[in-house]
């Protein structure tokens, strides 16, 4: 990641990673990008949405990414959803 200046929209100047194993193993990752706008501004929010969008891309826009997200990042109910008599997943 530090070798690719365009991966996240700019040069990575620092990063922090924590690997968690509660439930499914996953990673929490914070990345500092050189000259990125403040996230407290409209420009900063637009930057975040451009680099890390929170929407499912269209088939024409990114077919491989769309298939990957649909296969791995969309919740499907299983027997563990209501464990301990929980009413929600």
Task: Give the pLDDT of residue 43.
Answer: 95
Please give the Cα distance from 76 to 88 (Å, whole number).
13
CA nearest 35: which of 4, 57, 17, 13?
13
Task: Give the pLDDT of residue 55.
Answer: 82
Give 69's contacts (C-beta < 8 A, 6+ positions apart): 56, 57
Evaluate whether 70 touches 56 at the Cβ level (below 8 Å).
yes
Residue 1 has pLDDT above 60, yes or no: no
Residue with the larger pLDDT of the pair 23 and 25? 25
Task: Give the pLDDT of residue 41.
Answer: 95
| pLDDT per position as a tens digit, 51-70 | 887 788 888 988 888 888 88
Which stretches of the chain are DSSP H helices? Answer: 42-51, 63-72
């Amino acid at each position: 990641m530090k070798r690719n200046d365009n991966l996240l929209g700019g040069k990575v100047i620092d990063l922090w990673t924590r690997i968690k194993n509660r439930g499914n193993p996953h990673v929490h990752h914070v990345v500092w990008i050189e000259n990125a706008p403040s996230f407290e501004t409209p420009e900063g929010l637009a930057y975040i949405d451009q680099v890390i969008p929170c929407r499912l891309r269209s088939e024409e826009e990114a077919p491989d990414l769309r298939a990957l997200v649909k296969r791995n990042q969309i919740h499907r109910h299983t027997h563990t959803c209501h464990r301990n008599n929980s009413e929600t997943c």
